[in-house]
Structure 1
Amino acid sequence: MERTVIDYKKNDHKITVKTIDKHIKIMSDGVVIVETDDALMLSEQGHGDTVYIPVRDAKLKYFKESSTKSTCPYKGTADYYSLNINGKEKKDAVWRYIKPSLDFIPIKDYMAFDPNSIERIEL
């Protein structure tokens, strides 16, 4: 059963994180780069829904740390990774909050994907 992990509201900005009770498979360039039963769905006002997957379930041999960072006033600083599959690089395709703000500690060991950098997410 789905459950709410984070229900955040500040200055009329709402972010909700819920568990996903489905097996998730993420593919890029014909390669399965993630399979998990422990994904989260982050819904943020003004943005589309984003699937976050546990870092432990990613095939990290396809991920290369990038120097890119971005800051969210709610979640904190995101670190980016490029995907390297079959000699093809997709720069800054993945991000994660290694040290999220206190309200978002539950997404600390999770990562998300730029939807333009992956073929599909199977739910």
Structure 2
Amino acid sequence: MHQPVTDNPFVIMFINMVIVFAVLTVIWGLIELTHRLDPTKKKEEPPAAVSAAPVPPPAAPAAPAVPAGLSMETVAVIAAAVTACGYSVEQIHAIRPAEQPVWRNFGRTQGMRTAR
């Protein structure tokens, strides 16, 4: 009859782990070989000669479009709040009031329901 080589679970685990990592290493080697031999990979061009002309300073960010009803202080507060949320001033394209009649009507009805 056939006898098992070992009954120790740690030896069996070690053998299995060696097999798994050997297979992973072979797969990794095949992937690296594929990356090196890839015919569709674009060839890197040598860097162009850098001109000695000075780089102009970056232009100031454009001010967001301001509707006629908003003051510059309101725009500054909105821009500061948006910046505090993690966005930059360059990402603000326009500031315009959102038409939400549901909120307006809710405020009106709540105002009528309050006891005086």
* TM-score (ref. length: structure 1): 0.18
Pick the structure with more helix per residue. 2
Of the two structures, which has the highest relative contact order with CA contacts closer than 8 Å and spacing of 6 or more?
1
| Structure 2 length-normalised TM | 0.18
Higher strand share: 1
Computing the radius of gyration from Cα coordinates, the structure with the larger value is 2
